[in-house]
Chain A
C-alpha cells in the first residue's frame, strides 16, 4: 500500500514537473478542438460547444451554434429574401482560431458587404483540420442546402497532404473516385473523453498535455503522410510526372488530387447556380515574408478556371516589422489585422469579379 502511495506521489510530481517545465521553457498554446462525427462520415464542430483558446498572445472564446457553425446566430436552410449567401469552407484559418468571432474573416466579410449595401449572410462551415476532400463532402452534404450564391474554398499549403492522408478520394484511371466513406481521426476517443470534466479541463488548461499531444500528433501525422504518399506514388501516371518534372512524385500526386477535388467542388457549385472561388492563405515565413504556393502548384489556366485568389501582394505591401499579420506563439493563425487585410482583399476581388451583382 505504501509503495502504491509513493508511486502515485512520484507520478503526480513528474506531471507537475512537466507542467512547470512546459510553462517555463516551451509554452504550449492551448487550442482545444471540439469536433465530432457528422452523419456523412467527416468531422463537424460539436454543436453548442463553448470553449476557450489560450496562447501566450491571446485568449478567445469559441461559441458554436446548434448547426456546428462558429456563430451566435442560427441559420435556416431557406435563403432570406433579398439577401445573398456566401458559404465558406476551410480549416482553422476560416474558422477563426485565435481570434474573437468579431475578428474572424466570416464576420468581417459579412459586415463589409452589408456596409457596402450588399445584404448578405456569410455561413461559415469551416472546421479545424479540414482538407479540400472534407470541404467537398461538407459542401455536398450540408453546404448546398443553404442555397449559396458564392462558395469560397480556403486553400493552404497543408491541403495537399491532408487530402492524401484522409484517403476519402483518390484518382483512379484519371478519374476522381471516392475511396473511404469516413475520415474521423481519433473522433471516437475524443467523444468518449469529452464526457469527462477532468479531460475538458485538461485540454483547456494543461500545457503539458497540449505539448505532448501536439508532439505525438506531429509524429503520427508525418508517419501517416509518408505511408500514404508512398501509396499515392503508385497511382501517378508517368505523363503527369513528366508535366511537372520539378515536383517530387508524391507532391505531384497530392496536387493532382487536390486539383481534381477543387474542380469537382466548382462543378457542383455551378450546377447549383453558385459561383465558386478559392482563396489562399499564404504561408508565413517571417513577419514580413510570406509565400504563395499557387503559382508554383497551379498553371495559369487552372488558376483562371478555378478562380484561385491570393492576397500575397497585399500582405507583402502592407507588412512591416511592427505589424503582426499572423500570431507567432500559437499555431500561426491570422491575427485580427491579418483577417481584416484578407477581408479587404477579398472584398475588392469580389467587386471586380461581380459575382454577387445579380
Chain B
C-alpha cells in the first residue's frame, strides 16, 4: 500500500474516524494502530507478517530478560497465539506449500521457551550478554537470510570461479520483505538501549508491537528510537487542529516531492543510466543531477508524509532530512541525510567500535567499517558497498585535512566565511553527485562509461527538464534556510503561504507523473 495510492487514501479515511472515536481509550487506540499497521503491511504480502511478529516477540521477551523479568504465563500464551496467527496468515494462500513452516515455528516457540528458562537461571552479567546475543542473532539472522543470502552465495561462487574453482552452491528464490532493514534496526535499537540501561522495557505487548509496526514509518523509516517513540504509545495522544493542519501540509509537500519531482525525473535518469554509451557529456551530467534530486525527493518525500501522518495522529516522529545538499563536509552531510540511519550507525556501530576515542588510524578504520556496513544496509549489491566505501573515504579525507575543525575555528569576516561556505557546498555537492553515480549505476562498466563520457560542460534540453522540476524545491529550501525552520510556512505572511499552497496543489493536479513509481527505499 503506497502513500500515493487510492487504496491508501481509502485505508486512512477508514482508519481516522475510528482512531478519533477511540481517543479516550489508550489501549484500544494502540490495538487499532497495531491492526491497521498489519493490514497496511500485509497488503504487500501477508506472509511476511510472520517475520515482524518473530522480531516483535523476540525483542519483547529478551528486553524483559535483560532486566531480569519475564512475561507472565498469560502473556506467554498470548505470545504463542500471536505467533500462531502469523503462521496462519503465512499459510492462508498456499497452505500446501507453506504448512511445513509450522514445524520450524513450533521449534522456535518450544526452543525459545526452554532457552528463556535456561537463560533466566544464569547470573546477571552472563544472562544479559546471552539475551543481547539472542536478539542480535535472531534479527540479523532474519535480515541476513532474506536480504543477503543469495548475494553472498553468488559472490562466493564468483570469487571461487576467479580462482578456478567450480562451486555448486544453492541459491534460493527469496523475495525481499518490504522495509525489513528499517524495522529490524528499530527493534534492535530498543533492545540494545535496554541492554545499555538507557531505557526501561515495557511490559505492555500491544504498545510495544504497535511502536514497532507504526504504519506511517514502518516500511521506509525514519528508524525511530524507543526512547522517543515508545513513550508516545504510553500516553493519550491529543488531537489538535494545528497539528492536523500542519501535518496535512507536510503530507501534501511530501507527496509533491514524490510524484511531481522524483517521479518526473525518474524516466530521465532511468533512460540514460540504462544506456549511457549513447549519451553526450551533458546528458550524462543531467542524468546524475536528475537522480540526485530524484532520490532525495523520493526518500525525503516519504519521510515528510510519514511525519505528517504521524502528526495528524498526535505523534511526533523525528526529522530524517535537513537540507542535505547544502552540507559543507561529509560529516555535515551525514548529519543532514537519512538522519535516523546515520545516528543509528553512529550510536550502535561507530561508537561500539571505539569511535574517535583512540588513535587517528583507528578512527579512520571505524569510519570505513561503519560506512561500508551502512552501504551494505541499503542493499545486497556491490555498488552499495562501493558507495559505502566512497562515503567512508571522503569522510576520512576531510578528517585528514581537518576541514570540519577549520570551519569551526576560522576567524575571517562573515562575508568571507559565506563565500568559503559557498565553495565548500559546491565541492561537496559534486562529491555527493559522484556518490549517487556509484549508488545508481547497475555495473562498474556503466560507472566507467559515465566517468569517461563526462568530459565537457554543454547545454542539453534534459538540463532544462531537471531545472523545471527542481526550482520550486530550491526556492522552498531557500525559504527554509532563511527562516531557519524546516516548516517555514508557519512564519510567513498568510498571503505568501496561501500562494505556495495553491502552487503545490495545482502542481499535484497537473504536473504529477503519469506513471507512478515505487519508493526507492522500499527496496532497502
Chain A residues near B (Cβ < 8 Å): 14, 17-18, 21-22, 25-26, 211-212, 215, 218
Interface residue ranges of B501-524 to A (CB < 8 Å): 502-503, 506-507, 509-511, 514
**Which A residues are CB-close (under 8 A) to B507?**
21, 25
Q: Is there contact, CB below 8 Å, between A25 and B509?
A: no
Q: Is there contact, CB below 8 Å, between A212 and B509?
A: yes
Does B499 make an interface contact (CB < 8 A)? yes
Tell me the minimal C-beta distance from A285 to chain B in angstroms: 13
Give which listed residue, A17, A22, A218, contacts B499 with CB less than 8 A.
A17
Of B502, B503, B509, chain A has the most CB atoms within 10 Å of the CB of B509
Closest to A214 in B: B510
Chain B residues near A (Cβ < 8 Å): 468, 499, 502-503, 506-507, 509-511, 514
Q: Is there contact, CB below 8 Å, between A211 and B510?
A: yes
**Which A residues are CB-close (under 8 A) to B503?**
17, 21
Tell me the minimal C-beta distance from B515 to chain A in angstroms: 11
Tell me the minimal C-beta distance from B152 to chain A in angstroms: 36
Of B468, B507, B510, B511, chain A has the most CB atoms within 10 Å of the CB of B510
**Which A residues are CB-close (under 8 A) to B511?**
25-26
Tell me the minimal C-beta distance from A331 to chain B in angstroms: 15
9 nearest A-B pairs in the assembled complex, by CB-CB distance: A21-B506, A26-B510, A17-B502, A211-B510, A18-B506, A26-B511, A14-B502, A215-B509, A215-B510
Tell me the minimal C-beta distance from A218 to chain B in angstroms: 8
Q: Is there contact, CB below 8 Å, between B510 and A22?
A: yes
Bound Cα distance from A26 to B503, whole angstroms: 12
**Which B residues are CB-close (under 8 A) to A18?**
502, 506
Bound Cα distance from A14 to B468, whole angstroms: 22
Tell me the minimal C-beta distance from B137 to chain A in angstroms: 45
Tell me the minimal C-beta distance from B466 to chain A in angstroms: 15
Closest to B499 in A: A17
Tell me the minimal C-beta distance from A252 to chain B in angstroms: 23
Of B468, B506, B507, chain A has the most CB atoms within 10 Å of the CB of B506
Bound Cα distance from A18 to B507, whole angstroms: 10
Closest to A212 in B: B509
Bound Cα distance from A17 to B506, whole angstroms: 9
Q: Is there contact, CB below 8 Å, between B510 and A21?
A: yes
Extra 6 A-B pairs, beta carbons < 8 Å, given A26-B511, A211-B510: A17-B502, A21-B510, A22-B506, A25-B468, A25-B511, A26-B510
Tell me the minimal C-beta distance from B61 to chain A in angstroms: 46
Bound Cα distance from A215 to B259, whole angstroms: 15
**Which B residues are CB-close (under 8 A) to A22?**
506, 510
Closest to B472 in A: A25
Tell me the minimal C-beta distance from B280 to chain A in angstroms: 15
Bound Cα distance from A25 to B511, whole angstroms: 9
**Which A residues are CB-close (under 8 A) to B468?**
25
Bound Cα distance from A310 to B119, whole angstroms: 78
Closest to A17 in B: B502
Tell me the minimal C-beta distance from B254 to chain A in angstroms: 20
A-B contact pairs, 26 of them (CB 8 A): A14-B502, A17-B499, A17-B502, A17-B503, A17-B506, A18-B502, A18-B506, A21-B502, A21-B503, A21-B506, A21-B507, A21-B510, A22-B506, A22-B510, A25-B468, A25-B507, A25-B510, A25-B511, A26-B510, A26-B511, A211-B510, A212-B509, A212-B510, A215-B509, A215-B510, A218-B514
Tell me the minimal C-beta distance from A217 to chain B in angstroms: 13
Bound Cα distance from A26 to B507, whole angstroms: 9
Tell me the minimal C-beta distance from B404 to chain A in angstroms: 41
Tell me the minimal C-beta distance from A226 to chain B in angstroms: 12
**Which B residues are CB-close (under 8 A) to A218?**
514
Tell me the minimal C-beta distance from B242 to chain A in angstroms: 21
**Which A residues are CB-close (under 8 A) to B514?**
218
Tell me the minimal C-beta distance from B165 to chain A in angstroms: 40
Closest to A22 in B: B510
**Which B residues are CB-close (under 8 A) to A21?**
502-503, 506-507, 510
Bound Cα distance from A218 to B513, whole angstroms: 12
Bound Cα distance from A21 to B509, whole angstroms: 11
Bound Cα distance from A211 to B468, whole angstroms: 19
Tell me the minimal C-beta distance from A247 to chain B in angstroms: 20
Bound Cα distance from A218 to B468, whole angstroms: 23
Tell me the minimal C-beta distance from A18 to chain B in angstroms: 6
Bound Cα distance from A215 to B509, whole angstroms: 8
Tell me the minimal C-beta distance from A213 to chain B in angstroms: 11
**Which A residues are CB-close (under 8 A) to B499?**
17
Bound Cα distance from A211 to B507, whole angstroms: 12
Tell me the minimal C-beta distance from B233 to chain A in angstroms: 38
Closest to A207 in B: B510
Tell me the minimal C-beta distance from A219 to chain B in angstroms: 10
**Which B residues are CB-close (under 8 A) to A26?**
510-511
**Which A residues are CB-close (under 8 A) to B506?**
17-18, 21-22
**Which B residues are CB-close (under 8 A) to A14?**
502
Bound Cα distance from A211 to B509, whole angstroms: 9
Bound Cα distance from A26 to B468, whole angstroms: 11
Tell me the minimal C-beta distance from B508 to chain A in angstroms: 10
Bound Cα distance from A21 to B510, whole angstroms: 10
Bound Cα distance from A18 to B510, whole angstroms: 10
Bound Cα distance from A212 to B509, whole angstroms: 8
Bound Cα distance from A22 to B507, whole angstroms: 9
Bound Cα distance from A307 to B134, whole angstroms: 73
Closest to B503 in A: A21
Closest to A10 in B: B498
**Which A residues are CB-close (under 8 A) to B510?**
21-22, 25-26, 211-212, 215
Tell me the minimal C-beta distance from A17 to chain B in angstroms: 5
Tell me the minimal C-beta distance from A241 to chain B in angstroms: 24
Closest to B514 in A: A218
**Which A residues are CB-close (under 8 A) to B509?**
212, 215
Closest to A20 in B: B506
Bound Cα distance from A269 to B510, whole angstroms: 44
Tell me the minimal C-beta distance from A19 to chain B in angstroms: 10
**Which B residues are CB-close (under 8 A) to A212?**
509-510
**Which B residues are CB-close (under 8 A) to A17?**
499, 502-503, 506
Closest to A222 in B: B514
**Which B residues are CB-close (under 8 A) to A25?**
468, 507, 510-511
Closest to B502 in A: A17
Bound Cα distance from A18 to B508, whole angstroms: 12
